[in-house]
Structure 1
């Protein structure tokens, strides 16, 4: 605000009106003119992130940078990723339903003879669970062992 009004009014009057010390004004003016020291690192982080299709988080990006010879702290990489608005894509865990022997084992009524002489003698079924989109779907086909 002071920089914009400096063309019309004297700096001394503007600083007095705003209550801003002269040293603070010059400090912020100099800080605005300086380039960000992290720009080169930001571009490298962004390149690594996009090269791996967003699957790398701050830990793997930090390790990649270190392997390329750039010593950088993990907190710095994490902060720069937040500034850039980049987040790693979390891959969903596969569903694992097997938990070993759970429940009781039913007796084998078919006695592992999976053929029948006539229709409607032996019917079998099995429940299968699988994922479609974001939902779990169950399939239980009934088969006549003819």
Structure 2
């Protein structure tokens, strides 16, 4: 939304040491990889777990991120993100 581009919001982020990252205007492709990640994240973890314990939630999220980056095979290229990055270097 437009509120995230306002000067007051940007100033508040900067004052709190947060670096704002936004895609280029009118370019939906900039956001596609993270949208894909969050789609998988929600369907493969968030919607399936039943916990209200913050420590357990943090552990589950960290485990999922590790799994996603190192073990989960991407259908598009048949490799995990780490394998793909290593392969393309």
Greater RCO between the two (CA within 8 Å, min separation 6)? Answer: 1
Higher helix share: 2
Higher strand share: 1
Q: TM-score, normalised by structure 2?
A: 0.28
> Larger radius of gyration, structure 1 or 2?
1
